[in-house]
């Protein structure tokens, strides 16, 4: 998929999502919904205190929204109680076939399955190297995720950034309500056409948070014990462009070193998604990228939400269809 096409996809999906209205209802999956109109943007947000605990008692008056630096009135506000839909995006490029990374990735997925609500939450599995494969479409958890992961073989170059963008688009197009892409990767990318900033713009514009779990192998640890500090290169990824990609979408990046840390990370992601607020506001009409900033009037609280939305005047096709020359499956 070419960069121009990705940007057009983000534009169209954004226009679709800005068609949300202020009249509240409750769907069968308990998610607050906004009836279709052209004058609403919805934002999913999570709030934590300085110790990382979710804050679930805030009211609309406790939030302050800025659109391109200008105050925006919040027109609708609700807690999101819907089951969640998670697209697991597993790195199966050649670099994952060394130093027990493949087994570590499987362990993380198994831990995440343990925190999902069986038969209620939905989960899908995507795998990537140079292309993206839908291994399992969204279905009630736990599905056959682990069984299907065991059949995949690492191979090829790594198109991490492109795969994140396309998985986010597929998840948004599925109509899933409370949703996120959870990426399992060693963090390297050597083949993408998109930059991390471009991917974060795509995911932010369609309100799909991206959580990145960096798979840390024994060779990535400094020293001989399992609790040693990770290699500085991985720390740079967490604090640099890869981490920014996740944070700008309203997600996060974690580098668990031990199995206990991996379990805690998956639990944190699931719990965070369960405690979302939904906010609706009227978008500005000027075409282009509109940066958003959502704050609380309370002190010592951290808000996570998408970094902006995109307005364009011309619609384009929603989903890119692979040509005969592009890989459809692994």
Q: Torsion angle of alpha carbons 73, 45, 41, 289, nearest 10°? A: 100
Q: Which of 123, 54, 50, 90 is nearest to 213 (CA)?
A: 90
Residues 1-311: name the CATH superfamily: von Willebrand factor, type A domain (3.40.50.410)
DSSP annotation of 190 reads: S
Q: Where are the domains of the chain?
A: 1-311
Are 80 and 32 spatial neighbours (Cβ–Cβ below 8 Å)?
A: yes
Least confidently predicted of 30-34, 163-167, 177-181: 30-34
d(CA 166, CA 196): 13
Q: Torsion angle of alpha carbons 80, 82, 87, 88, nearest 10°? A: 90
Tell me what pLDDT residue 130 has: 85
- Around Cβ 258, how many Cβ atoms within 10 Å? 14
Range picked from 6-20, 57-71, 232-246, 313-327 for highest mean pLDDT? 57-71
Is a pLDDT exceeding 60 seen at residue 100? yes
Over residues 32-70, the pLDDT tens digits come to 554 444 578 999 999 999 888 889 999 999 999 999 999
Is a pLDDT exceeding 90 seen at residue 27? no
Mean predicted confidence (pLDDT) in 149-168: 90
What are the two backbone dihedrals, phi and then psi, of residue 305, each rounded to the nearest 5 degrees?
Answer: -160, 165
Least confidently predicted of 7-11, 165-169, 197-201, 287-291: 7-11
d(CA 185, CA 212): 8
Q: What percent of the chain has pLDDT over 90?
A: 54
3-state secondary structure of 249: coil
d(CA 177, CA 198): 23
Are 155 and 129 spatial neighbours (Cβ–Cβ below 8 Å)?
A: yes
CA 47 to chain centre: 16
Look at 1 and 122; give whichever has higher pLDDT. 122
Q: Which of 80, 131, 86 is nearest to 274 (CA)?
A: 80
Tell me what pLDDT residue 223 has: 55
Over residues 188-222, the pLDDT tens digits come to 888 899 999 999 999 999 999 999 999 887 666 55
Q: Which of 3, 2, 10 is nearest to 290 (CA)?
A: 10
SS3 for 43-104, per residue? EEEEEEECCCCECCCCCHHHEEEEECCEEECEEEEEECCCCEEEEEEEECCHHHHCCCHHHH
d(CA 20, CA 188): 37
Q: How is residue 194 written in tokens?
A: 């998109």
11 band by pLDDT with thresholds 50, 70 and 90:
very low
Handedness of CA 223, 225, 227, 231 (dihedral sign): positive
d(CA 19, CA 71): 21
Average pLDDT, the chain: 81
Mean predicted confidence (pLDDT) in 145-173: 91
Beta pairing class for 63-67 and 70-72: antiparallel
Least confidently predicted of 108-112, 121-125, 186-190, 196-200: 186-190
Cis peptide before 294 (omega within 30 of 0): no
Q: Which of 264, 268, 311, 325 is nearest to 10 (CA)?
A: 311
d(CA 311, CA 297): 28
Over residues 239-285, the pLDDT tens digits come to 888 999 999 999 999 988 888 888 999 999 999 999 999 999 999 98
Tell me what pLDDT residue 24 has: 34
Over residues 59-98, the pLDDT tens digits come to 999 999 999 999 999 999 999 888 999 999 999 888 887 7
Is a pLDDT exceeding 50 seen at residue 28? no
pTM of the complete model? 0.81
């Amino acid at each position: 998929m070419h960069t121009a096409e990705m940007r057009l996809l983000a534009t169209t999906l954004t226009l679709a999502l800005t068609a949300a209205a202020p009249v509240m209802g409750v769907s069968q999956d308990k998610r607050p919904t906004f009836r279709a109109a052209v004058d609403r943007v919805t934002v999913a947000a999570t709030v934590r205190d300085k110790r990382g605990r979710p804050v679930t008692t805030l009211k609309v008056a406790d939030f302050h929204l800025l659109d391109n630096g200008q105050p925006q009135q919040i027109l609708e506000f609700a807690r999101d109680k819907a089951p969640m839909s998670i697209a697991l995006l597993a790195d199966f490029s050649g670099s994952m076939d060394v130093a027990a990374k493949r087994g570590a990735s499987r362990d993380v997925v198994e831990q995440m399955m343990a925190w999902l609500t069986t038969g209620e939450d939905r989960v899908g599995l995507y795998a990537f190297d140079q292309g993206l494969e839908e291994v399992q479409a969204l279905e009630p958890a736990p599905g056959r995720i682990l069984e299907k992961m065991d059949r995949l073989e690492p191979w090829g170059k790594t198109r991490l950034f492109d795969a994140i963008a396309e998985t986010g688009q597929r998840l948004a197009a599925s109509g899933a309500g409370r949703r996120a892409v959870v990426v399992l990767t060693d963090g390297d990318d050597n083949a993408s056409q998109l930059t991390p900033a471009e991917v974060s713009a795509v995911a932010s514009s369609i309100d799909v948070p991206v959580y990145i779990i960096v798979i840390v192998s024994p060779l990535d640890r400094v020293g001989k014990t399992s609790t040693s500090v990770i290699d500085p290169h991985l720390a740079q990824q967490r604090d640099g462009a890869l981490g920014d990609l996740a944070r700008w979408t309203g997600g996060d990046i974690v580098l668990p070193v031990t199995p206990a840390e991996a379990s805690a990370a998956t639990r944190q992601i699931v719990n965070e998604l369960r405690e979302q607020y939904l906010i609706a506001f009227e978008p500005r009409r000027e075409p282009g990228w509109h940066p958003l900033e959502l704050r609380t009037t309370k002190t010592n609280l951290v808000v996570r939400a998408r970094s902006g939305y995109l307005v364009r005047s011309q619609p384009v096709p929603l989903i890119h269809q692979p040509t005969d020359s592009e890989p459809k499956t692994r």
